[in-house]
Amino acid sequence: MNRTAMSCILFDVAAILVFMSPTFLMLLRRTFLPRFITFEKNIHAHKVASYTMLFWSIIHMGIYYRRYVNESKPHLSKGKMVPGTPLRVNLIEKMTGWTGLVLLLSFFLLVTTSIKPIRQRLFEVFYFIHHLFILCTVFLFIHGGNKRAYKYLIGPIALYCMDRLYRNLRTAFAKSPIRAVIQHPSGVFEIQLDKKIIGHRPGQYVKLYCPSVSLLQWHPITISSAPEEELLTLHIRLAGGWTTCLAQRLGCSFESDARKSTVQKVVALSGRLKALTFGRCCYSAAARDIAPAPLLDIPYHPLRHDPTTVPMYSQAGGSSSYISIDMVAKGGSTAMRGSLALGDDDGKLKPTVSVVGSRLEDIAESSTSAQMESGDVVIKMGAELPVFFIDGPYSGPAEHFFEYEVGVLIAAGIGVTPAAAVLRSVYFKWLQGREQLPSKKVYVFWVYRDIDTIEWFKDLLIALEEEGLGSIVEVRTYFTGQIPESCTPQLAPAEDRFGKQVIATSIGTKSYIGRPVFGDVFESIGALHPDTRVGTFLCGPKPMVRKVRREAHKWDARLRKSSNTTMDFHSEVF
């Protein structure tokens, strides 16, 4: 029994090392194996292996101690003891005894500090304790002269070391300057960075490291931009000490209760002139006056506007226009539909460049247009921004979205980020030509509880509507919070099976009141798409995942029989 327990411990340690080799697992996900193995549960498998490792360690230690405690005569221990020798010699002072105690204590600390409340509140403790696995691995080899450790662990250790070395080298060259920071309502902020990763897919995530915030912490953040975009976009919700410190470091100013924050504004911009596709900064220019002027909370988005325009907004004579990249204001000026006349005595237009900040300040004049085109002039707004390091991309469930003819995206709150990445990719593929879209139909169900949450991806939702993607993409949002006094609920059409009441959102769309009935959702989709392979992708809290998974599996079994429709379910928990 004791040998069996030791073999189980070694097998669990080997499994843990494999589960913590994400690059290797990502390669496996690109083979035929995902049809039979759910690779998206590697973190869960890692936890299960850890719990069983601790369980078998306790069993192994108990058997070992019981053997000696029950021995009333020391000579029963096969000549290794003589009469009168204290038991502590075998239990503690011998290498087998004290290494076993160290291993058991280390396993216990590794498991207990990984419990969610402890991990979230004391991340540094969790981080340091987890590096005990190096000590544990060494002790497993010397514990009792354990030759079986070589058979179980040499391969997984080599795999983990190669995976870790590759990730460290990749990260060393992934220093990503920030190009824009946007504060959104309901405690969310958006970061746009230079894209230093290659070949990512919608639904994947990266690990983010900001040394000026924490020297230890790497945090997984889902990519919310499409692979077709030039910049890497991350939406981050305030959910603890690290995210709060990061938001403050970037210049965001949320209320004490971040969920009640309704402000949407550009906090910082940084980049060269010809890289202004990140621009979302707008200026108020009432009655022909542009400088000085405060920032407006009107985002500029490259999905909806010409990316060659400077993100400066002008109102003159009741009309609005974006300013062309080759002319910006100096002093005071007049808006002229695409260019600005300088406030000089000669009244001539000159190619000047201005700081993008809370006030318009002239910083330089370009002597030639060639200098501007070369990108030598830097546009900057806000405080000095920190530099991020990015490790990834890593696989996520939604990266397999385009493998299905029909896709269903379900999200709760900030879990909409993988769905947003997929929708952005759908948008760009549509612009390239409908034949570029592998999926015939996309359904989106987004559940949120704060009325201003929809502002996070307002530009994306409006862009999808403006481009006429209604025949391909159907977006349904569900509001579960307290209805504001300014909103009046209305009855949904009788034939609408997705909700009974709706309210108008700030972007002019309708949002259902309450949660979707996923049984009706899957039944309707199955009826509309017979003989079809449907992929369902959910990102949300555990209770929601359990409920939707149960409904998806139930309707998968029914639809296979009634209409030959298969419904595969993929999920991730935040």
Q: How many residues are recorded in the chain?
A: 574
Asked if residues 442 and 475 have their Cβ atoms less than 8 Å apart, the reply is: no
Q: Specify which residues 177 forms β-bridges with.
A: 387
CA distance 171 to 173: 5
AA identity, residue 218? W
Which residue range forms the structural domain that includes residue 312? 175-387
Asked if residues 99 and 140 have their Cβ atoms less than 8 Å apart, the reply is: no
Examine the domain organization and report whether 242 and 299 are in the same domain. yes
pTM above 0.75, yes or no: no
- Domain boundary residue, one of 318, 352, 387: 387
User: Above 90 in pLDDT, residue 140?
Assistant: no
Most confident of 95-104, 300-309, 387-396, 540-549: 540-549
Examine the domain organization and report whether 360 and 428 are in the same domain. no
Angle 179-180-182 (CA atoms, 0-180°, nearest 5)? 165
The confidence band for 407, taking pLDDT boundaries of 50, 70 and 90, is: very high
Which of 338-347, 391-400, 509-518, 556-565 has the lowest average pLDDT? 338-347
- Alpha-helical regions (H) of 468-541: 518-528
- What average pLDDT does the structure give for the chain? 72
Examine the domain organization and report whether 365 and 463 are in the same domain. no
Provide the pLDDT for residue 38.
72
Tell me which of 495 and 570 has the higher pLDDT. Answer: 570
- Alpha-helical regions (H) of 316-412: 369-373
- Domain boundary residue, one of 140, 170, 200: 170
User: Above 90 in pLDDT, residue 162?
Assistant: yes
Which tokens go with 451?
């009325």
Provide the pLDDT for residue 400.
86
Which of 66-80, 154-168, 380-394 has the lowest average pLDDT? 66-80
- In 3D, which of 141, 218, 209, 156 has the Cα closest to residue 19? 156
- Domain boundary residue, one of 387, 408, 423: 387
Provide the pLDDT for residue 97.
76
Examine the domain organization and report whether 107 and 183 are in the same domain. no
Asked if residues 2 and 100 have their Cβ atoms less than 8 Å apart, the reply is: no
Examine the domain organization and report whether 525 and 432 are in the same domain. yes
Within 13 Å, how many C-alpha atoms sit on residue 543's CB side?
0
The confidence band for 212, taking pLDDT boundaries of 50, 70 and 90, is: confident
Which tokens go with 439?
């999926």
Tell me the average pLDDT across 39-46: 80
Which tokens go with 9?
């411990």
The confidence band for 318, taking pLDDT boundaries of 50, 70 and 90, is: very low
**Per-residue pLDDT tens for 393-404?**
888 888 888 889
User: For residue 324, is it left (φ>0), alpha (ψ between -120 and 50) or beta?
Assistant: beta
Long-range contacts of 274-278 (CB under 8 A, 24+ apart): 274/325, 274/372, 274/373, 274/374, 274/375, 275/179, 275/230, 275/375, 276/307, 276/308, 276/309, 276/310, 276/311, 276/325, 276/379, 277/230, 277/231, 277/302, 277/307, 278/179, 278/180, 278/192, 278/231, 278/302
Examine the domain organization and report whether 215 and 330 are in the same domain. yes
Examine the domain organization and report whether 335 and 213 are in the same domain. yes
Tell me which of 24 and 455 has the higher pLDDT. Answer: 24
Tell me the average pLDDT across 221-235: 88
Number of domains observed in the structure of the chain: 3
CA distance 103 to 139: 7
Examine the domain organization and report whether 316 and 413 are in the same domain. no
Inter-CA distances, 162 with 21, 218, 529, Å: 9, 20, 45
Examine the domain organization and report whether 439 and 468 are in the same domain. yes
Examine the domain organization and report whether 491 and 539 are in the same domain. yes
Residues 6 or more apart whose Cβ sits within 8 Å of residue 61:
100, 101, 104
Measured torsion, CA atoms of residues 110, 112, 117, 118, in degrees rounded to the nearest 10: -60
Which of 167-176, 251-260, 435-444 has the lowest average pLDDT? 251-260
> Which position has the token pair 């002008």?
314
Which of 120-134, 239-253, 486-500 has the lowest average pLDDT? 486-500
Measured between its terminal Cα atoms, the distance across the chain in Å is: 40
The confidence band for 270, taking pLDDT boundaries of 50, 70 and 90, is: low
User: Above 50 in pLDDT, residue 375?
Assistant: no
Kindly report the CATH number assigned to the domain that includes residue 553.
3.40.50.80
- Alpha-helical regions (H) of 79-202: 88, 95-112, 116-121, 123-130, 132-142, 148-172
Which tokens go with 396?
């996520």
Measured torsion, CA atoms of residues 557, 558, 561, 562, in degrees rounded to the nearest 10: -160
Examine the domain organization and report whether 404 and 267 are in the same domain. no
- In 3D, which of 125, 256, 231 has the Cα closest to residue 176? 231
AA identity, residue 438? P
CA distance 461 to 571: 23
Most confident of 140-154, 258-272, 550-564: 550-564
Examine the domain organization and report whether 552 and 410 are in the same domain. yes
Provide the pLDDT for residue 312.
39
Three-state SS at 90: helix
Three-state SS at 477: strand
CA distance 540 to 307: 33
